C-alpha cells in the first residue's frame, strides 16, 4: 500500500510537470511517455526499423501500449471520443492532438479518415497510429481488423507499417495485470498496476508497405502480419461487418 501510494504520487507529479511544459505535440507526448514509463518501471524493447511517417497499425492491449509506443517514437493516436472527457488522460490526449472518433454518429469514420489523411499529409517525423481491432484484448490473440480507417492510407498511398505488441512480466500474468480490457475499470486497474515493477513491452515493427488491394483484403493481411509479429494467433471472424465507428479501449 505504501509503495503504491508513493508511486501514485510520483505519477501525479510527472503529470503536473509535463503539463507545464510545451513543444510540438508528438514530441511533447514522447517526453511525457518516457517520464511515465520511468514511474511505472516499464522497460521497452524494439525489433525492426522504426517508421518515421505514414500509418502504423497495431494490436491493442490497453493504455500501456500508448506509453510504450510514444516513448520510442513520435506519434499521433486515434481514440474513441469518450477518452476526451477522461480525467487527466483526456486532457493529455487532447493536447497530444489525438484524433477522436464519435461513436454516436454514422459519419464518424468518414470524419476520422479525413483527419487521418490530413495528419499523414502534414506529418514530418511522426506516425499516425490506429488499433484496427476496435477494442483491446489480453494479448493472447489478435482480433479481426476492421478496414474502415485504412481508407485514408489507401487513397493517399502512404506507407502502412504493421506492429506487434507483446507484454511480459516475471511476477504475474501480464494479460491480467498489464492489459486493460473487457470489463476492467481504469482506477482499480491502474492502482493494482502500481504494485509491480517488472513490466516489459516488446514492440515488433514489420516492413512498411503501400496498400495494393481492397481495404478488406489488406485488413486480413495486416491482421495476420501483426499476429506473427506479436507471436500470437489471429482470431477468425465468421462474418466481417463494417462497424459505424471504432471502440478503442484507451487513448
Percent over 70 (pLDDT), the chain: 91
pLDDT band with cut points at 50, 70 and 90 for residue 178: very high
Grid cell 506519434 in the structure block, residue: 75
pLDDT at 246 over 50: no
pLDDT band with cut points at 50, 70 and 90 for residue 56: very high
Question: Average model confidence (pLDDT) for the chain?
Answer: 86
Backbone angles phi and psi of 142, in degrees to 5? -110, 120
Backbone angles phi and psi of 152, in degrees to 5? -65, -40
Model confidence pLDDT, tens digit, residues 76-106: 998 888 888 877 778 888 999 998 887 556 6
pLDDT at 152: 85
Model confidence pLDDT, tens digit, residues 75-84: 999 888 888 8
Grid coordinates in use for 116?
A: 487521418
pLDDT band with cut points at 50, 70 and 90 for residue 244: very low
Q: Which residue stretches of the chain are H helix?
A: 2-19, 25-40, 63-72, 89-95, 108-122, 151-156, 174-177, 186-193, 215-230
pLDDT at 72 over 60: yes
pLDDT at 111: 79
Q: Of 109-123, 128-142, 168-182, where does mean pLDDT reach its minimum?
A: 109-123
β-pair partners for 91: none
Three-state DSSP string of 171-208: CCCHHHHCCCCCCCCHHHHHHHHCCCCCEEEEEEECCC
Q: Which residue stretches of 80-169 are H helix?
A: 89-95, 108-122, 151-156
β-pair partners for 50: none
Amino acid at each position: 500500500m505504501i509503495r503504491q501510494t508513493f508511486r501514485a504520487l510520483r505519477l501525479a507529479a510527472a503529470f503536473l510537470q509535463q503539463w507545464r511544459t510545451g513543444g510540438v505535440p508528438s514530441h511533447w507526448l514522447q517526453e511525457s511517455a518516457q517520464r511515465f514509463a520511468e514511474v511505472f518501471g516499464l522497460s521497452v524493447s524494439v525489433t525492426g526499423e522504426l517508421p518515421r511517417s505514414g500509418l502504423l497499425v497495431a494490436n491493442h492491449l490497453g493504455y500501456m501500449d500508448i506509453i510504450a509506443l510514444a516513448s520510442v517514437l513520435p506519434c499521433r493516436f486515434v481514440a474513441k471520443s469518450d477518452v476526451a472527457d477522461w480525467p487527466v488522460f483526456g486532457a493529455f490526449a487532447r493536447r497530444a492532438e489525438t484524433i477522436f472518433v464519435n461513436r454516436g454518429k454514422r459519419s464518424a469514420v468518414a470524419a476520422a479518415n479525413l483527419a487521418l489523411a490530413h495528419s499523414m499529409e502534414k506529418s514530418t517525423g511522426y506516425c499516425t497510429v490506429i488499433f484496427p481491432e476496435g477494442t483491446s484484448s489480453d494479448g493472447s490473440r489478435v482480433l479481426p481488423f476492421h478496414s474502415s480507417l485504412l481508407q485514408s492510407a489507401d487513397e493517399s498511398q502512404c506507407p502502412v507499417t504493421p506492429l506487434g505488441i507483446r507484454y511480459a512480466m516475471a511476477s504475474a500474468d501480464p494479460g491480467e495485470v498489464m492489459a486493460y480490457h473487457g470489463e476492467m475499470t481504469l482506477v482499480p486497474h491502474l492502482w493494482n498496476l502500481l504494485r509491480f515493477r517488472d513490466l516489459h513491452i516488446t514492440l515488433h515493427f514489420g516492413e512498411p508497405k503501400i496498400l495494393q488491394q481492397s481495404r478488406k483484403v489488406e485488413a486480413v493481411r495486416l491482421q495476420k502480419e501483426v499476429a506473427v509479429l506479436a507471436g500470437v494467433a489471429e482470431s477468425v471472424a465468421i462474418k466481417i461487418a463494417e462497424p459505424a465507428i471504432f471502440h478503442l479501449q484507451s487513448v
